[in-house]
């Protein structure tokens, strides 16, 4: 694995700080809590922690509305707590990746107050202000990702400001050189403090059409989709010039040693790979969300892996994601049994995997009654909210799961049925499976660094090889609840089963897989 950077070899684990560990009884997770639980991550075997936003924020979008890019919200602790967290993480060999939210600030950010103070403000063009349409309405038809227009009228100046998300999240104007310089300073502030990189929020949104043309309607829209899907986001995002902005960000990161730039990008593969940038000058890892969006069957997944592998630019490093704080959890999407198979897939594909907290124990979405809803999206567009995938981590079987001594900000799952402590004790648990997979990845460089070769799918069995030097591994995943067989041709040795009850030599010929079973074999 020589020659690979840590972010190529390693595995990223996403912590949603509000929901990881509370230490002061206010029901909300905090940085001290993350520190206290670092050893869980070390035992798990991941390499890096990505923290969702911890900056001072009115929390209209739970930290994705930043009021100060260079601080820590008192809910989470202090800058000193943050420094301690980095030190503790580094002492354990863990990297720390921050969420960077450059597309918009909170309306409470002092920059926005200045910008809003009137047209002559020197920061007026740090945000996106436009005159009303001739009829007095919004400047164009763009919609907010959380429903309604993406424009809010400011009576004092007679102009509208743009917000791709909540009206409390005004979009910054990345065409302003001063704004760009200020944001580069922000990045340096954290890089100087020792962060190992950034996950950049909605990076494909940073530049909008210079002429603010209307987005075209989406003919495939169906009423079960959120409002935003009524239009194709042709002019409001994914503009070619965004790659210049990203090149600048990348240059800032490259001034430091061994840091990583990850971009959050929801785009079809052919556009996604553009974010590696010309000559790989873009993000190191444009998040690949295809496993979240694809139907769970062998041929669809085999096809998408092949397409992705083929689309990568020379030297572009792949990555895979099964879940995050914006998506239904994997265990709820495909069920508990298949979630184990999905874990094996995630951790044996070629490229950097990202694990969402809780997925290592098979946590499912938790029902959140309407009156307890927190997510502003849920309040605007009921049914689309993300609270069910953001519930507190159940560490033990007490009612509040060892997460808090107070009242948790979101309800927990039935902790008696599912918690970390119980899975520690159960040799065949999902947690043990994750540890085994991560250990296997470490001890078999073919998994982290080897070539990928897809096999022809047989029924619902997805199979591929990973090869490095003279080591050749076969991964065979039964994506169905029925037993299955594939042709093995030669003898092989099972290294790991998702059922954690099988290893050793397999006879040549047909390889049998039980229902919902995945195997890693050495050929």
For binding to Ca ion (CB under 5 A), which residues are involved? Answer: 22, 24, 26, 28, 30
Site string for ligand NOJ, 317-346 (x = CB under 6 A): --------xx--------------------
Residue with tokens 């820590």: 72
Residue 488: phi and psi, rounded to 5, are -100, -30
Please choose which of Ca ion, ligand NOJ, none residue 18 contacts, taking the beta carbon within 5 to 8 angstroms, the exact cut-off set by kind.
none
Residue 143 is a binding residue for ligand NOJ (CB under 6 A): no
Interface residues for ligand NOJ in 112-131 (CB under 6 A)?
A: none
Q: Does residue 150 sit in helix, strand or coil? A: coil
Please choose which of ligand NOJ, Ca ion, none residue 389 contacts, taking the beta carbon within 5 to 8 angstroms, the exact cut-off set by kind.
none
Residue 165 is a binding residue for ligand NOJ (CB under 6 A): yes
Tokens standing for residue 92: 């354990």
Nearer to ligand NOJ, 202 or 486 (CB): 202
Residue 227 is a binding residue for ligand NOJ (CB under 6 A): no
> In the complex, what is the shortest distance from the CB of residue 28 to Ca ion, in angstroms, rounded to a whole number?
5
**Residue, CB closest to ligand NOJ:** 64
Residue 201 is a binding residue for ligand NOJ (CB under 6 A): yes
> In the complex, what is the shortest distance from the CB of residue 109 to Ca ion, in angstroms, rounded to a whole number?
24
Is 519:475 a contact under the CB 8 Å cutoff? yes
Is 245:207 a contact under the CB 8 Å cutoff? yes
Residue 424 is a binding residue for ligand NOJ (CB under 6 A): no
Q: Which helix (H) or strand (E) holds 484?
A: strand 484-487
Nearer to Ca ion, 54 or 448 (CB): 54
Nearer to ligand NOJ, 165 or 409 (CB): 165
Is 329:364 a contact under the CB 8 Å cutoff? yes
Sheet of 12-15: strands edge to edge?
285-286, 260-263, 197-200, 95-100, 48-51, 12-15, 352-356, 319-321
> In the complex, what is the shortest distance from the CB of residue 31 to Ca ion, in angstroms, rounded to a whole number?
9
| Separate counts of helices (H) and strands (E) for the chain | 16, 19
Q: Catalytic pick from 22, 264, 378, 516?
A: 264
Q: Which residues pair with 465 in a beta bridge?
A: 453, 474
Please choose which of ligand NOJ, Ca ion, none residue 409 contacts, taking the beta carbon within 5 to 8 angstroms, the exact cut-off set by kind.
none
> In the complex, what is the shortest distance from the CB of residue 72 to Ca ion, in angstroms, rounded to a whole number?
13
Is 496:503 a contact under the CB 8 Å cutoff? yes
Task: Report how far residue 320's alpha carbon sits from residue 352's, in angstroms, rounded to the nearest whole number.
Answer: 6
Does the annotation count 201 as an active-site position?
A: yes
Q: Which of 109, 89, 88, 108 is nearest to 97 (CA)?
A: 89
Residue 61 is a binding residue for ligand NOJ (CB under 6 A): yes
Among 64, 142, 204, 308, binds ligand NOJ (CB under 6 A): 64
Residue 330: phi and psi, rounded to 5, are -60, -40
Residue 387 is a binding residue for ligand NOJ (CB under 6 A): no
Tokens standing for residue 13: 């684990």
Please choose which of ligand NOJ, Ca ion, none residue 126 contacts, taking the beta carbon within 5 to 8 angstroms, the exact cut-off set by kind.
none
Nearer to ligand NOJ, 202 or 474 (CB): 202
Q: How far is CA 7 from the centre of its chain?
A: 15
Among 12, 202, 343, 410, binds ligand NOJ (CB under 6 A): 202
> In the complex, what is the shortest distance from the CB of residue 344 to Ca ion, in angstroms, rounded to a whole number?
35
Please choose which of Ca ion, ligand NOJ, none residue 64 contacts, taking the beta carbon within 5 to 8 angstroms, the exact cut-off set by kind.
ligand NOJ
Q: Which of 7, 99, 107 is nearest to 325 (CA)?
A: 99
With b for 16 or more beta-carbon neighbours within 10 A and e for fewer, the 117-142 pattern comes to: eeeebebbebbbbeeeeeeeebbbbb
Site string for ligand NOJ, 245-274 (x = CB under 6 A): -------------------x----------
Does the annotation count 472 as an active-site position?
A: no
Q: What is the bridge-based pairing of β-strands 95-100 and 197-200?
A: parallel
Q: Give the catalytic positions in this structure.
A: 201, 264
Residues that bind ligand NOJ (CB under 6 A): 61, 64, 101, 165, 201-202, 264, 325-326
């Amino acid at each position: 694995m020589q020659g690979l950077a840590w972010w190529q070899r390693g595995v990223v684990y996403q912590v949603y700080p509000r929901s990881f560990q509370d230490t002061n009884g206010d029901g909300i997770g905090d940085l001290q809590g993350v520190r206290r639980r670092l050893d869980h991550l070390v035992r798990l075997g991941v390499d890096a922690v990505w923290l969702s936003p911890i900056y001072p924020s009115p929390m209209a979008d739970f930290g994705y509305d930043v009021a100060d890019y260079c601080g820590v919200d008192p809910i989470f602790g202090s800058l000193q707590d943050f420094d301690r967290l980095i030190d503790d993480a580094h002492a354990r060999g863990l990297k720390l990746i921050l969420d960077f939210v450059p597309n918009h600030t909170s309306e409470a950010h002092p920059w926005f107050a200045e910008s809003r103070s009137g047209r002559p403000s020197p920061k007026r063009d740090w945000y996106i202000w436009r005159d009303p349409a001739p009829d007095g309405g919004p400047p164009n038809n763009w919609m907010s990702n959380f429903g309604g227009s993406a424009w809010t009228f400011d009576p004092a100046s007679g102009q509208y400001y743009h917000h791709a998300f909540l009206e409390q999240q005004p979009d910054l104007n990345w065409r302003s050189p001063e704004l760009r310089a200020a944001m580069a300073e922000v990045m340096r502030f954290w890089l100087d403090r020792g962060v190992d990189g950034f996950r950049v929020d909605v990076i494909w949104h940073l530049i909008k059409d210079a002429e603010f043309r209307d987005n075209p309607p989406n003919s495939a829209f169906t009423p079960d989709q959120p409002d935003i899907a009524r239009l194709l986001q042709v002019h409001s995002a994914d503009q070619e010039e965004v790659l210049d902005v990203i090149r600048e960000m990348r240059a800032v990161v490259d001034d430091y040693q061994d840091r990583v730039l990850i971009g959050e990008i929801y785009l079809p593969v052919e556009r996604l790979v553009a974010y590696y940038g010309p000559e790989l000058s873009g993000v190191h890892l444009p998040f690949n969300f295809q496993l979240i969006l694809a139907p769970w069957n062998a041929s669809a997944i085999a096809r998408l892996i092949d397409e992705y592998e083929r689309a990568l630019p020379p030297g572009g490093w792949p990555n895979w994601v099964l879940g995050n704080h914006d998506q239904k959890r994997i265990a709820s999407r495909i069920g508990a049994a298949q979630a184990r198979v999905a874990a094996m897939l995630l951790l044996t594909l070629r490229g950097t995997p990202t694990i969402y907290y809780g997925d290592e124990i098979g946590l499912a979405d938790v029902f959140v009654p309407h009156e307890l809803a927190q997510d502003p999206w849920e309040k605007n567009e009921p049914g689309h909210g993300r609270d069910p995938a953001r519930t507190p981590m159940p560490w033990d079987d007490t009612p509040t799961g060892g997460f808090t001594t107070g009242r948790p900000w979101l309800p927990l799952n039935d902790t008696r049925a599912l918690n970390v402590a119980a899975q520690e004790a159960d040799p065949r648990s999902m947690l043990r499976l994750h540890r085994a997979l991560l250990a296997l990845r470490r001890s078999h460089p073919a998994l982290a660094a080897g070539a990928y070769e897809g096999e022809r799918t047989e029924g619902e069995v997805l199979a591929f090889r990973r090869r490095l030097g003279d080591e050749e591994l076969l991964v065979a995943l039964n994506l169905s609840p029925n037993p299955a067989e594939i042709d093995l041709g030669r003898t092989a040795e099972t290294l790991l089963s998702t059922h954690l009850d099988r290893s050793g030599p397999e006879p040549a010929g047909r390889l049998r897989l039980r229902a919902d079973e995945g195997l890693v074999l050495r050929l």
